[in-house]
């Protein structure tokens, strides 16, 4: 029999979107307690899918047979479901595997399609200057996603090495390691050992 404290601790380890066996903010796997979790969806994930399905069904029902509206809602629903499935499979795939790379490409394609479709719907009802802004933001999102997924590589260590150029001059260059005021922050961010 488990106590309330251990049940609460188990619930806190369960992530927000239902990836059982992994803490919400961590990369290492946590062994499931007594076979309790088998990697299935959490109740919150199931509730989200029920809500998405209900809203999509209601939008189709209220469209009064408008083919464009039904197509938009159906495409968006299918795209989101496929996106969540691919994300789930991506989380379970082995690091640096071919499957993980293919899933990363699938996630980028699905998010790009969703971005383009929603941008089209929003831009259609906006004046020209706002249309240009909407499409510019969509383009930046797609290109930023491509950069984040396929070009950018995380640095080893703390991950703060690339942040140094954001800091004021006294932090990023010419600091003295014997100056106690700046030493700890500068060493952490710049990766120096004094």
Q: State whether residue 82 is helix, strand or coil.
A: helix
pLDDT at 65: 86
81 to 25, 34, 72, 134: CA distances (angstroms)? 23, 30, 14, 25
- 175 three-state secondary structure: coil
pLDDT for res 184: 56
What's the confidence (pLDDT) of residue 140?
A: 96
Predicted pLDDT of residue 165: 42
**Other beta carbons within 10 Å of 5:** 8
Is pTM beyond 0.85? Reply is no
pLDDT of residue 10: 52
Q: Which pLDDT score, from 0 to 100, does residue 152 have?
A: 86
With CA atoms as reference, report the closest residue to 79 among 91, 69, 89, 71.
71
- What's the rounded Cα separation, in Å, for the pair 188 and 157? 10
Q: How far is CA 158 from CA 27, 174, 191, 192, in A?
A: 15, 22, 8, 12
* Dist CA 75 CA 117 (whole Å): 9
* Parts of the chain with a pLDDT under 50: 1, 8, 12-37, 159-173, 175-178, 181-182, 194
């Amino acid at each position: 029999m488990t106590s309330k404290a251990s049940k609460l601790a188990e619930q806190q380890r369960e992530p927000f979107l239902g990836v059982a066996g992994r803490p919400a903010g961590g990369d290492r796997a946590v062994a499931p307690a007594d076979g309790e979790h088998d990697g299935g969806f959490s109740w919150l994930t199931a509730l989200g899918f029920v809500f998405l399905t209900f809203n999509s069904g209601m939008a189709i029902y209220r469209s009064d047979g408008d083919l464009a509206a039904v197509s938009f809602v159906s495409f968006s629903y299918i795209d989101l479901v496929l996106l969540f499935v691919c994300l789930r499979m991506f989380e379970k795939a082995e690091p640096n595997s071919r499957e993980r790379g293919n899933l990363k490409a699938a996630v980028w394609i699905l998010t790009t399609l969703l971005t383009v479709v929603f941008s089209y719907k929003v831009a259609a009802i906006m004046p020209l200057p706002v249309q240009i802004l909407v499409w510019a933001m969509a383009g930046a999102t797609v290109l930023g996603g491509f950069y984040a997924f396929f070009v950018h590589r995380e640095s080893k260590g703390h991950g703060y090495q690339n942040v140094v150029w954001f800091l004021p001059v006294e932090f990023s260059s010419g600091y003295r390691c014997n100056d106690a005021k700046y030493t700890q922050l500068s060493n952490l961010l710049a990766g120096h050992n004094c």
